[in-house]
């Protein structure tokens, strides 16, 4: 049985919509999952094969799946977070508009279509972007934030040495990492993601303040998944997040890439859905 | 929700409302309606008998190729029940009138044989009724295929790389220039990291080469997952038969030359893992290209064609 329509890029000439891929459910339940890739990643490639395996999962049948895209190589972290914040705002405030302009006429939804739950799944730098966006939305007092839930894969919120990942943006040749690709590459993210950087320090302290006395539970991750052989990010615990779950035999970039013969990332996400 | 209808609309939007396919539809319909048979035969001639130099003709022929790629998708969609079959509606009638035209037929049957438009034409004539038995995973397999194909259409179909692999020289650059670049790891890496605005044609072709290898690996994996549906599997492979069959030998040899260059790479700081990883990558990519350029997946479609004629 077909659970989702064909993968499509959201319509629109401007960022971020033209970099967002979506799988819309054919039996929408008002729930969605938004995947946010990490440093240098690609909206689909980072999470491959979530886009193939997840639609078939029982808990996902009615959920729309968004694969959010942004410039994870050269763009400033705070700017990327602001763009994502705007996207989330529109997804909650005008979901019918976003969804219906991207659906064929046979699949149009009611004008009053709303999302009652949004699970944000972020990898690496995506975790920092997502946390910053949620924090800023909290300061703005958005009432729908309680409908969001956060799941993180190999988050970079405690710092990362990301230049080693630069090769991932420009090619699929993984072996480039042995050839000094780092030396060729410049990005504001290298400094912004250093452990103890002003941006990460502010993110942690503002989150701790916002979560005092159990407030703003949407800022606390529901699940944190880390790689056994992590060389890129620091795995220290962030604020009041739960202790992480480790997936054996994975690295920073493989921990979020399920395959038919490696379903652990999908199973861990399903536990939250 | 009418899922088949929604799928059909999605396919029309992506494959037929593109400027190129829409241009081809309009141009061919006009020439057919005006009975411009000689002009049509000229436009759709065999380039090896009478080369095509006119920019307008090249553009229109490329548009016709895009239209025929869309016909591939209609055939695959109909075979799998992903879209409603031909029902005599305006759209299907327009496609039928194009595919049954004598000059258009010679183009995709004789000069540049494309099997899926031929199957679709037979289906429109009511001479082919084959379909794949419904199964719980069939629709998701089609969704998977269309995601793969959209990536191909977006990143590779009009790429410099594929034109070069097809022996075209682009503003003085040939595929051998790309191979030479791969032979120089430092230059290769420098060029891969150039910001988009500063990339030259060989730089872009290098990036496309990485995408093409990944696409081929994904396609081969997907085809293997369809082992239980040989006709569907064969139709998917035939959709890319221009690359993997028609110019398959050339493609195999040229990509092999490119892959060989990687084997000579040595990291500045000796690391055994580098050599192991490169050899594994090259072996896998080479194996995938060899499989795709073989005729392993060809036969079921050929059989369906010969049975329906």
* For chain B, percent of residues with pLDDT exceeding 70: 100
Residue A3 maps to a domain:
no
User: Cβ of B88 under 8 Å from any chain A Cβ?
Assistant: no
Residue of B nearest to A105 (CA): B6
Q: Nearest Cβ partner of B147 from A51, A105, A176?
A: A51
Asked if residue B137 has pLDDT above 90, the reply is: no
ipTM field:
0.88
Residue numbers in A near B185 (CB within 8 A):
179
The whole-number pLDDT of residue A149 equals 97
- For all residues of chain B together, what is the average pLDDT? 93
* Phi, psi dihedrals of residue B96, rounded to the nearest 5°: -60, -45
The CA distance from A118 to A65, in Å, is 10
> Which pLDDT band holds residue B129 (cuts at 50, 70, 90)?
confident
User: Cβ of B211 under 8 Å from any chain A Cβ?
Assistant: yes
User: Cβ of B30 under 8 Å from any chain A Cβ?
Assistant: no
Q: What mean pLDDT do residues B221-225 have?
A: 96
* Phi, psi dihedrals of residue A199, rounded to the nearest 5°: -65, -45
Model confidence pLDDT, tens digit, residues B292-303 = 999 999 999 999
Residue of B143, B149, B255 best to disrupt the A interface, most CBs of A under 10 A:
B143
Residue numbers in A near B137 (CB within 8 A):
56
Inter-chain CB proximity B193 and A184 less than 8 Å:
yes
Residue numbers in B near A51 (CB within 8 A):
147
Asked if residue B192 has pLDDT above 70, the reply is: yes
Q: What mean pLDDT do residues B2-7 have?
A: 94
Query: Is the backbone peptide bond immediately before A49 cis, with ω within 30 degrees of 0?
Result: yes
Distance from CA of A183 to the nearest CA of B (A): 9
In order, the DSSP letters of B56-120 are HHHHHHHHHHHHHHHHHHHHHHHHTTSS----S-HHHHHHHHHHTSHHHHIIIIIIS--HHHHHH
Q: Nearest Cβ partner of A178 from B11, B144, B274?
A: B274
Residue A1 maps to a domain:
no
CB B147 within 8 Å of CB B153: no
Residue of B nearest to A50 (CA): B144
User: The domain containing residue A257 runs over which residues?
Assistant: 8-270
Model confidence pLDDT, tens digit, residues B238-264 = 999 999 999 999 999 999 999 999 999
The whole-number pLDDT of residue A161 equals 83
Q: Nearest Cβ partner of A107 from B1, B265, B277?
A: B1
Q: Nearest Cβ partner of B273 from A5, A56, A178?
A: A178
Please give the biggest Cα pair distance in chain A. Answer: 54
Selection from B234, B245, B204, B206 nearest residue B112 by Cα:
B245
Distance from CA of B169 to the nearest CA of A (A): 24
Q: Cα–Cα distances in Å, from B32 out to A119, B26, B68, B99, B105?
A: 53, 10, 17, 11, 13
CB B68 within 8 Å of CB B106: no
Interface of A with B in 85-104 (CB under 8 A): 103-104
User: Cβ of A53 under 8 Å from any chain B Cβ?
Assistant: no
> Which pLDDT band holds residue B305 (cuts at 50, 70, 90)?
very high
Structural domain total, chain A? 1
Residue A264 maps to a domain:
yes
Residue of A nearest to B209 (CA): A171
Q: Which residue has the higher pLDDT, B158 or A265?
A: A265
Tokens matching residue A154: 């190999």
CB A204 within 8 Å of CB A236: no
Distance from CA of A185 to the nearest CA of B (A): 7
Inter-chain CB proximity A170 and B193 less than 8 Å:
yes
Residue of A nearest to B146 (CA): A6
Residue of A18, A104, A259 best to disrupt the B interface, most CBs of B under 10 A:
A104
Does the pTM surpass 0.90? The reply is yes
Q: What mean pLDDT do residues B134-146 have?
A: 90
Residue of B nearest to A260 (CA): B225
Residues 6+ apart with CB under 8 A from B198: none
Residues 6+ apart with CB under 8 A from A128: A77, A81, A155, A156, A157, A193, A199, A200, A203
The whole-number pLDDT of residue B191 equals 84
Tokens matching residue B80: 């799998």
The CA distance from A152 to A157, in Å, is 10
The whole-number pLDDT of residue B187 equals 87
Residues 6+ apart with CB under 8 A from A205: none
User: Cβ of B272 under 8 Å from any chain A Cβ?
Assistant: no
Q: What mean pLDDT do residues B129-146 have?
A: 89
Question: 3-class DSSP state for residue B173?
Answer: strand
| Dihedral, A139, A145, A149, A151 alpha carbons, nearest 10 | -30
Cα B170 vs. chain centroid, distance in angstroms? 20
CB B81 within 8 Å of CB B110: no
CATH number at residue A159: 3.40.50.1820
Selection from B2, B40, B24 nearest residue B117 by Cα:
B24
- A with B: how many residue pairs have Cβ under 8 Å apart? 110
User: Cβ of B135 under 8 Å from any chain A Cβ?
Assistant: no
Distance from CA of A263 to the nearest CA of B (A): 17
Per-residue pLDDT of chain A (273 residues; tens, 9 = 90+): 899 999 999 987 778 888 999 999 999 999 999 999 998 778 888 898 999 999 989 899 999 999 999 988 888 999 999 999 999 999 999 999 899 999 999 999 998 999 999 999 999 999 999 999 999 999 999 999 999 999 999 999 999 987 777 766 667 788 887 876 555 567 788 889 999 999 999 999 999 999 999 999 999 999 999 999 998 899 999 999 999 999 999 999 899 999 999 999 999 999 999
Interface of A with B in 158-177 (CB under 8 A): 166-167, 170-176
Inter-chain CB proximity A175 and B278 less than 8 Å:
yes
The whole-number pLDDT of residue A185 equals 63
The whole-number pLDDT of residue B125 equals 93
> Which pLDDT band holds residue B189 (cuts at 50, 70, 90)?
confident
Q: Which residue has the higher pLDDT, B175 or A182?
A: B175
Q: Residue B240: which H helix or E strand, with range? A: none
Residue A248 maps to a domain:
yes
Residue A2 maps to a domain:
no
Selection from B144, B155, B145, B158 nearest residue B66 by Cα:
B158
* Per-residue burial over B27-47, b = 16 or more CB atoms within 10 Å of its CB, e = otherwise: bbeebbeeeeeeebeebbbee
Residues 6+ apart with CB under 8 A from A62: A25, A27, A28, A29, A30, A31
Model confidence pLDDT, tens digit, residues B88-116 = 999 999 999 999 999 999 999 999 999 99
Query: Is the backbone peptide bond immediately before A16 cis, with ω within 30 degrees of 0?
Result: yes
Selection from A160, A159, A184, A158 nearest residue A170 by Cα:
A184
Distance from CA of B249 to the nearest CA of A (A): 24
């Amino acid at each position: 049985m077909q659970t989702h329509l064909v993968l499509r890029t959201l319509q629109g000439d401007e960022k971020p919509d033209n970099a967002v891929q979506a799988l819309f459910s054919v039996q929408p339940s008002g729930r969605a999952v938004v995947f946010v890739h990490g440093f240098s990643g690609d909206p689909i490639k980072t999470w491959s094969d979530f886009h193939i395996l997840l639609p078939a999962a029982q808990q996902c049948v009615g959920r729309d799946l968004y694969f959010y895209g942004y410039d994870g190589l050269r763009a400033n972290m705070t700017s990327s977070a602001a763009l994502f914040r705007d996207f989330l705002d529109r997804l909650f405030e005008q979901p019918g508009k976003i969804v219906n302009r991207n659906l064929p006429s046979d699949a149009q939804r009611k004008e009053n279509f709303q999302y009652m739950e949004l699970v944000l799944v972020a990898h690496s730098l995506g975790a920092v972007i997502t946390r910053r966006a949620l924090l800023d939305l909290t300061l703005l007092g958005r009432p729908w934030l309680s409908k969001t839930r956060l799941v993180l894969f190999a988050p970079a919120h405690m710092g990362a040495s990301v230049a080693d990942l630069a090769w991932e943006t420009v090619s699929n040749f993984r072996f480039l990492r042995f050839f000094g690709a780092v030396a060729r590459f410049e990005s504001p993210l290298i400094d912004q993601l250093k452990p103890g950087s002003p941006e990460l320090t502010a993110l942690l302290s503002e989150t701790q303040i916002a979560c005092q006395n159990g407030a703003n539970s949407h800022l606390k991750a529901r699940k944190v998944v880390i790689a056994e052989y992590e060389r890129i990010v620091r795995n220290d615990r962030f604020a009041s997040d739960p202790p992480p779950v480790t997936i054996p035999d994975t690295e920073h970039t493989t921990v979020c890439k399920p395959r038919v013969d490696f379903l652990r990332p999908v199973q861990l996400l399903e536990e939250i859905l | 929700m009418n899922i088949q209808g929604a799928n059909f609309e999605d396919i029309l939007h992506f494959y037929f409302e593109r400027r190129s396919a829409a241009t081809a539809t309009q141009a061919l319909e006009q020439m057919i309606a005006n009975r411009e048979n000689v002009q049509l035969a000229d436009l759709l001639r065999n380039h090896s008998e009478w080369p095509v130099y006119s920019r307008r003709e090249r553009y229109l022929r490329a548009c016709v190729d895009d239209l025929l790629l869309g016909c591939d998708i209609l055939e695959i969609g109909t075979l799998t029940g992903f879209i409603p079959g031909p029902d005599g509606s305006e759209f299907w009638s327009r496609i039928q009138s194009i595919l049954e035209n004598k000059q258009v037929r010679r183009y995709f049957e004789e000069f540049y044989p494309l099997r899926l438009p031929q199957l679709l034409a037979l289906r429109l004539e009511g001479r082919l009724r084959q379909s794949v038995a419904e199964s719980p995973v069939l629709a998701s397999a089609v969704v998977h295929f269309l995601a793969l194909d959209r990536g191909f259409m977006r990143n590779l179909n009009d790429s410099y790389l594929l034109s070069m692999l097809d022996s075209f020289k682009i503003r003085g650059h040939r595929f051998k220039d790309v191979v030479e670049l791969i032979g120089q790891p430092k230059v290769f890496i420098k060029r891969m990291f150039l910001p988009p605005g500063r990339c030259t044609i060989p730089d872009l072709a290098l990036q496309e080469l990485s995408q093409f290898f990944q696409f081929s690996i994904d396609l081969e994996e997907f085809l293997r997952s369809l082992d239980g549906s040989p006709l569907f599997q064969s139709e998917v492979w035939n959709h890319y038969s221009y690359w993997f069959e028609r110019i398959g030998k050339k493609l195999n040899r040229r990509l092999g030359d490119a892959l060989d260059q990687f084997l000579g790479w040595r990291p500045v700081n000796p690391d055994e893992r580098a050599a192991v990883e490169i050899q594994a990558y090259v072996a896998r990519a080479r194996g995938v290209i060899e499989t795709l350029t073989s005729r392993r997946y060809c036969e079921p479609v050929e059989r369906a064609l010969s049975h329906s004629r």
